[in-house]
Structures are given as structure tokens and as C-alpha cells.
Amino acid sequence: MLLVLLGSVFLIVTQVQAQRCGIDAYTQYKISQDPKYAVRLTEAEHAIQEWLDANHIDTRSGGDTYTIPVVVHVIWKTATQNISDAQVMSQIDILNEDFQRMNADTVNTPAGFKPVAGSLPVQFCLAQRDPDDEPTNGIERRETTVTTFGLDDQMKFYASGGLDQWDPTRYFNIWVCNISGGILGYGEFPTGTVSDTYGVVIDYQYFGDQGTATPPYDLGRTATHELGHCFNLRHIWGDDGSSCGGSDLVDDTPNQGSENYGCPGYPKYDACSPSGDGVMFMNYMDYTDDDCMNMFTEGQADRMWSAIESFYPELLTSDACEPFILLALDAGVTDISQPVGQDCDGSVTPVVTIRNWGANVLNSVTINYSIDGGSPNTYNWSGSLASLATANVTLPAVTAGDGIHVMEIYTSEPNGSTDMNTMNDSGETTFSVFNTGVSVPVEEGFEAAAFPPAGWSVNNSGAAYGWERTLEASSLGDASVWVNNYDYNDPGAEDDLLSIPVDLAGMSGPLVTFDVAYASFKQGVVERTDALEVLVVTSCDGIATSVYYKEGDDLDTRTPTAFAFTPSSSQWRTDSIDLSSFVGEDYVSVVFRSINGYGNNLYLDNINISDGLANAIGDELRNAASVYPNPANTELVIEWKGTAATGTIQLTDLAGRTIWAGQVIGSNNEIIRISTAQLPAGIYTLLYVAEGGSVMSEQISVQH
């Protein structure tokens, strides 16, 4: 099915006419560079169809209109290519008219097609806030040394003579430049993955309806066409050459053999639509002249809306078009770079970034900072900070004891007066100080919403990817952690998840166990794999010792796949590592390192650091008792198969708090019942300690 879909939808059609659109060749280029791209297109199409099956938008209902912020990147080598602001704004106006079906030439839509003419409830606007939340007119310009750009996305990166994309979840990106080969423009189909190339590219000669706009493509319909592709519309004839077997995957567009040029007379018939109203040559997704195009259909509008809702819903709620209002006096905290993660000696030197959000120059501000809600320390900053400028400030050191801490930092009294907006004054950071580790066992199932868990830390090398909590898969409970290596294309990048430090002094035979799920990527002869390495650090700033390394077949928990891997309940494996060589160390942190190979998704769950010898004895006790049901709903039952040794039994939460405690009296076939009906859903630990010192530790999931 994959090959059929790709073959029908993305077939390159060679034309002798001017290349109205470059998306076919561009898509083939993307596939040649990354075999996963074809898979993502197929998965995205499945997602679109699922959305359409479950939803429908009446494009004529006149409901709410959603604003989509736009940034236009103008890249020029000659003065002519540096198109005017007015020309840019003319294109935005055209997009709004065309997508809302407010264009004057709707009167040219044939009567037979008017009943299916559709619109989209969106209003495009030039952004008024840039990614740094500074005022902008939504137009970014760069003089380049590049004469012409091709289909390889070089205009989308500053390093190759272009301009970098703005966050595609906040802005729709348009690049205007000189394109080689007579191509008017090209878009990029959505793939379900946030892409640093997503947007449209338009040649400067075919953008807007004034200035450099060149007939017969001088009414801005090239951008309308290419935005259609970005919102998952296909060419109306189905890209199947001249046969009638292709499809644009929309029901209310007539079958059509091939593209049209110029402006045919109505009705126009072909072998695929030989009667009635003929082919819909005036559709924006055909290749006719700009003054011939005038409509989308309702089905196309539904399909575009489904793409926005499925892949870029944040665009509909972005604040990037909200006017930027500067108050006279407004200072605040934008970032706290220190302390974060683990601090080694308890002497904490905070580093904070302050910003002058006000219109007036900031000459002074008080910076207040406290630990765990204690009395604040104050630091009086002085200088000269222009409007919207930032400054990094190193604050005097403070001392924190062992444990997990929260530091709050906030500003007050800018220029000695009242701050006119206190909403942006403060920030906080969580950090930990451990000169000695905590007692074992440590059990982490990542059920709490906060990530990383208290005392744990992450060191992610990628800006967009790294260790994250997910609810999409788990070996026990509802959550796990993962690295999205399927979309993470940075081979060799290392991302670390560091456990809370533990104290192994006096342990008999400590070990760490964890559940892992992974599948290598494989499509045809192309196979890529990532690696999981586990290391141990024996001091806060010590050298890491590798104790585990697996990749490829050794790491796989299912057969390799071309699709993004999400494990089922049976596709997990429990691995264990002997930590006996670290007995006696009072500070041991276990580091789980994902090493990227642009392969597939890696998952971890149910990480346990414990005294292995005690648990080995506990294994014998497990053979004598049944614990059910697990997961538990209203009640947990411990049923002894014979006579148990007397002792204590308790249920604790992930923070180590005792939720329930009782006695094992040692009677024959003893049954203990623990009510779980009122417990919050999550992971708990059942701990049995016999009088002889034997221990049974069992992880319990409570679900309601």
C-alpha cells in the first residue's frame, strides 16, 4: 500500500511549459535525502483520513475565524529582488481573499461548480511579534551572495545564504527569492513532524500583484496554490500523468486527466470528464493562469482544515499577531540559567537574565531571590538597558543543604518606581544538592506529571529532542520516558537521564533494573540503529563509568520497522545491571544515555535501584504469595499459599510516604486486603519485611 500511495501521489510529471509548481520534484528530493520522509507522508495521510472520518467543518457556516501569523523572508541579491513591503502586503491580502472566498473573481466560477465552492475560516496576518517577543512587521530581509536557489531548501538556512525558519508552530513561513529553472514556487506537505523547512517558497517575480509580479502569474495565485500543498492538498488531476486513475483524494473535484495551462473555455472536457461541467480548470490546485483561478472546493477546505488541526493546531492560537504594547516601566525575568540540575557543594551562584520590557531605558532594578520560600535575598542592579534589551546578571552566592530545592527569582522597583506589569516579573528553577545519596530502594515509573522527577535531571544535547515523559506507551502504569530518535537526525548526539543519587554503603549486592523498548529503523536495504548506554557516576562532578551498552539487535525488543515505533505491552524487556563494584560508595548516580543514530524511538520505564541480594531472597517469598490484581482498582489482595513468616507489610508512594501498613501474623493461607479505592492512580511499592530480614518488594499500579 505504501508503494502504491507514493507512486500515485508523488509521481514526477515532466512538462515543457513553465514549471508552475515544483512540489513533485521537491518531494522526490526529500525522499532521496531521507527514506523516512516517504513513510511520514503515508502516516500523515492516514491521520488526515482518520480526522476527516471523525469530523466535518461546514465551510459555509460563517463561524469563528482563526488568525494565522505569517512571516515573509525576503532574500535578495539584486535591488529588484528586494520586493517592497507593499508587494508583500498585497500577497497577504490575496491569500485572505482566496482562502475566505472573498476574491472579486468568484463571479467567474461556473454555475455548475458554485454549489461545491468552499472557504477556510482563517485570516492570515503579518506577524507583529518575532520569536524573541520583540516588535516586527512580519517581513525579514537579507542580502545574499547566492544568485539562484533550487529545490534543496538552501534559502531556508542562514548558513547557506538564506534565512532561518521561525517557529512553525507560531508562524507560517514564506520565503521569497530567485528560484532557478523557471519554477514559480513550491510548498511542503505536512508530515506530522515539526519540520525546520515547512512553509512555501515563491519566486520574487510571482509574489503578490504589484511591483515585480509578472504576467500571467501576477495575481498572487502561486502562493495560494503552494499554501494549498502545505495544508495537504494535491494537484487536482492526481499527478498520474494523463490517465484517469489518479486522485487528489477529494470527493467533490471532478476526475481530470492532466493539468491545464492558460485559461481554457468553459466547459472543458477530457477523457476523464467527457460530459457535464467537465474539468475544474479554475481550481487553485490546477496550473492555469492566475486570472483563470478562482476557487477551492468544500472538500478541499475540509482537507486543509484537517491538516491544520492535525499537525499545526498551535498556529490557530498563536499570539504572534497581537500588537506589542510597551509600558513605560516594565522589567522582568526571562531565564534562570543557574542553578539547574544537581549542584555539587551547596554553594549556589544564581545567574538570571533580566529584560527591559518597558519603553524607558532601565537604569536600575531590584532582583529578589529565595530558596524554598525562605526570606529573600536582594541585589540592586544598575546599568543602562535599552527597551527590550536583556542582561545576564550573576547574583551573590547562597547556601543550600542536601535535598531538592526550588529557587524563585523576581524583579521589583524598576528605576525606583512601581512596575507597571508584574505578570512577567518572576521565574523559578528546581535544583538538588546531594553530597550523599538517598537510601535504596529507588523506584521510578514516571507516573507523576512533573519531569524530570524530583532529584533526577536531564542533559539533552538537542534543542528539539531528548528525554521526555510520554503517555503513549508504558510497561507498567500510564507513563514512560522516551527519546524520539525517529525524527531526531543528529547521529552521535548524546542525551542523558540522570537518576537521583543513591547511597550504596553497606549494600549486599546492589543492582539496577529497568524496562526498555526499542526497534531499529529498516526500510529496504537502509537500516539505522541507536544505542543505549548506562553509566555510573560516583561523585557530583566525577567521571562516568560505563556499565552497559546495547545497540541494534542487542537493543531491539521487536523486529526493525520503517514506521515510528510505539511499543505494545508485550514489546518491553527487563534488563538488569550488577552494581556490586560500587558497594561502599555513598554517592551513586545512574546515567541512561541515548546515543542518536537517526534510527527509531527508545523507551524506558520502571527503573529500580535496589539491594540485589535482599531482593533475591524476596524472590523466594514471591513464590509463596500471590499479589492481585495488578493493576488494582478498588482493592489489592496478598494471598499466602502456605504459612508466611511473621513480619510487616506496607504500601508506599513514589515519594516514599507510607500509605498503608499492617502485620503478617503467619497463619496458614493468610489473606491481606488493602483498599485502593481512594488512592490516586499511579505507581506504589508493596514492601514485605520478614522478621528474619528477608524482603519482598513489588511495584503496584493503581488505575481507576
Q: Cite the active site residues.
A: 226
User: 287 and 274 in contact (C-beta within 8 Å)?
Assistant: no
Extract the C-alpha cell encoding 134. Answer: 520583540
Cβ atoms of residues 574 and 513 within 8 Å = yes
Question: What count of other Cβ atoms lies within 10 Å of the Cβ of residue 656?
Answer: 12
Adjacent-strand bridge partners of 139: 72
CA atoms of 582 and 546, how far apart (whole Å):
12
Query: If we measure between CA atoms, which residue out of 638, 627, 612 comes closest to residue 695?
Result: 612
Q: How far apart are CA 68 and CA 579, in angstroms?
A: 54
CA distance 605 to 624: 27
Q: How many residues does the chain have?
A: 704
Is residue 8 within 8 Å of residue 24, measured between CB atoms?
Answer: no
First-to-last alpha carbon distance for the chain, in angstroms, is 39
Our measurement of the distance from residue 576's CA atom to the centroid of its chain's CA atoms, rounded to an integer in Å, reads 31
**Segments in 488-633 forming alpha helices (H):** 612-622
The H or E element containing residue 498 is strand 494-498
CA 683 to mean position of chain CA atoms = 26
Q: Are 471 and 478 in contact (CB under 8 A)?
A: yes
Beta-carbon neighbour count of residue 67 at 10 Å? 17
The phi-psi region of residue 171 (left if phi > 0; otherwise alpha if psi is between -120 and 50; otherwise beta) is: beta
- Which SS3 state, helix, strand or coil, does residue 486 take? coil
CB atoms within 10 A of CB 538: 18
What does residue 33 show for φ and ψ, rounded to 5 degrees?
-85, -25
Sign of CA dihedral 287, 292, 297, 302: positive
Residues near 190 by beta carbon (within 8 Å), at least 6 away in sequence = 44, 198, 230, 231, 232, 307, 310, 311, 312
DSSP result, 351-394: EEEEEE-SSSPEEEEEEEEEETT-PPEEEEEEEEE-TT-EEEEE
Measuring CA to CA, which residue among 611, 632, 633 is closest to residue 696? 611
Maximal C-alpha separation, the chain: 96
- Alpha carbons 363 and 409: distance in angstroms, whole number: 19
- DSSP code of residue 502: B
